[in-house]
Structure 1
């Protein structure tokens, strides 16, 4: 039975529209992440003792840039053809990097939520002991560890991703115009699915646990504030509170998008078939977090607004001759 993906004429306009939206979303996401990455690199160079959250945010922006670049090459035939390698190598390399960066995205988001939970924990909390022990060396170790985990978990992609034009088999699962997945035994497919799912579910549970902990701390802080301030006053939230709310928003959005992608990809792997429109929609869902996350981080960081305001003021002074 043939399971090769076929773009039917009735679904072609929808497929083209979703694909164009995916490419425009990707381009916008690369621009936003590049701005976020450059800003945090500048802050890291200026600060003698950089904050763990700044380092982690910088790492997250870099991961999302690499992730979205692979999307541009995979779903844009013109860019795919620009790479002067044979198609089989291009498919393996692009899908491998894409899968590694997706794993690093969830790991880094989880790490960011843990760091923020430690940062806002009170001195009486059991997490407070990690504030003094939490050094840059430990953070670099975690970066090395999650890179090692993601690189090793994605090696199966190198063996089962092939260029469609180079293979005569008819039971391929076509992923893009040029790349497909070759048949995988049910046992190996189940093993890799179990390992990857176990890793992702564990990280999601850690994110939910740290998020619940931060919500409890925010509620306690709000109750104390109500005792200290009259109800008519509305004191501005502290930078720690704004940062915590940002992380909570990111985690919530990531978890929702993860489970939507999980449902689509699980059904496709079980049936070993993909509809062209569903594939494009899944790609939008998978990579929308990489596009939205820098916007959330930029909008919640007052340092960025202060920098932009300062640059605008300096330009106005130069134009007016002051």
Structure 2
């Protein structure tokens, strides 16, 4: 029995190391490619679209999520000790939370923008007549400021294993635990998250529903150019829906794990590792979905 436990523990440790390395390596590379795909039209002022601005911010935020939380966790797994000082732990945890919140805000903005493109009218005339990238860029910076402010007091709640008396049992302690969250903090975080996720899900689902109904109405019309353009819209809508699903499911599971770990002070290592893997899923897979959808991607990738 003891031998079986050691074997399972070894297999789990190897699997966690591989997953962490793949998430950091593949996710960072994919986000760098996504960044250059979308920043080049902005710098060259060539066919600049509002989505280019949003995806540029999203790629930067995804890299911050992977590096701020991925490197400390990966270092801890390989070195089996606390690699961070108290100040570094506070900083990395704060940046990871800010980046995570900004990712949620930018993804919600992308879904909402794609939804409004279906309704040409006064709003579109005011925003999309050459000024949309600037307006969207302003909203992206507001997302950053909102995320920095909402988590400004979080570093004060962070302790490290260096602050604990028993520093030998690292396998049972979280090296960046937050142990002083109050009910008001959870309510504040929950309200903002629920607002963004609800708006994101509503906009994406309603957009897919409208496009699907319109697709059924015009399917009998034989217009090669129009049908090709509409099929592109259908593919874009379903890509966006997959992007939202890829975000919401790991995000909700990670929130459940984080709440349980923080509120009940359950610092078992496997819980923390699963929570981190879930938090890094969207920054790893979302750029791959967006790159494969991009028409500039190589044909063998698409």
- TM-score (normalizing by structure 1): 0.78
Secondary structure in structure 1 of the residue aligned to 2:209:
helix
Tell me which moved more, 258-267 or 13-22. 13-22
Cα shift at 1:236? 6.9
Partner Cα separation in structure 2 for residue 266 and residue 175 of structure 1: 20
Secondary structure in structure 2 of the residue aligned to 1:216:
helix
Alignment match, 1:149: 146
Secondary structure in structure 1 of the residue aligned to 2:24:
helix
Cα shift at 1:267? 2.1
Alignment match, 1:110: 108
Where in structure 2 are the equivalents of 1:77-116 lying within 5 Å?
77=75, 87-116=85-114
Secondary structure in structure 2 of the residue aligned to 1:274:
coil
Which of 194, 197, 200 does residue 190 from structure 2 map onto?
197
Partner Cα separation in structure 1 for residue 130 and residue 205 of structure 2: 23
Cα shift at 1:23? 2.5
Q: Residue 264 of structure 1 contacts residue 282 of structure 1 at CA under 8 Å; is this kept in 2? A: yes
Which of 7, 13, 34 does residue 32 from structure 2 map onto?
34
Where in structure 2 are the equivalents of 1:119-138 lying within 5 Å?
119=117, 121-123=118-120, 130-132=127-129, 135-138=132-135
Alignment match, 1:228: 221
Alignment match, 1:266: 259
Which of 145, 148, 156 does residue 159 from structure 1 map onto?
156
Secondary structure in structure 2 of the residue aligned to 1:303:
coil
The verdict on how the C-alpha distance between 1:129 and 1:242 changes in structure 2, with shifts beyond 3 A counting, is: farther
Instruction: Report which structure shows greater RCO (CA 8 Å, sep ≥6).
Output: 1
Which of 232, 247, 253 does residue 254 from structure 1 map onto?
247
Cα shift at 1:40? 1.6
Partner Cα separation in structure 1 for residue 171 and residue 258 of structure 2: 12
CA-to-aligned-CA distance 1:98-117 (integer Å, 9 cap, x gap): 11111111111001111111
Alignment match, 2:201: 208
Alignment match, 2:175: 179
Q: CA RMSD in A?
A: 3.2
Q: Residue 118 of structure 1 contacts residue 131 of structure 1 at CA under 8 Å; is this kept in 2? A: no
Cα shift at 1:300? 0.7
Q: Residue 101 of structure 2 contacts residue 147 of structure 2 at CA under 8 Å; is this kept in 1? A: yes
Tell me which moved more, 150-159 or 294-303. 150-159
Cα shift at 1:137? 3.0
Partner Cα separation in structure 2 for residue 62 and residue 115 of structure 1: 19
Say yes or no: does 1:23 pair with 2:49.
no
Cα shift at 1:164? 1.7
Q: Residue 160 of structure 2 contacts residue 174 of structure 2 at CA under 8 Å; is this kept in 1? A: yes
Partner Cα separation in structure 1 for residue 24 and residue 232 of structure 2: 30
Runs of at least 5 residues in structure 1 that lack an aligned partner in the other structure: 1-7, 310-322
Q: Residue 44 of structure 1 contacts residue 50 of structure 1 at CA under 8 Å; is this kept in 2? A: yes
Partner Cα separation in structure 2 for residue 56 and residue 101 of structure 1: 14
Q: Residue 178 of structure 2 contacts residue 262 of structure 2 at CA under 8 Å; is this kept in 1? A: no
Q: Residue 239 of structure 2 contacts residue 289 of structure 2 at CA under 8 Å; is this kept in 1? A: yes
Cα shift at 1:45? 2.2
Report the structure number with the largest CA radius of gyration: 1
Tell me which moved more, 97-106 or 65-74. 65-74
Count residues with an aligned counterpart: 289
Cα shift at 1:125? 9.0
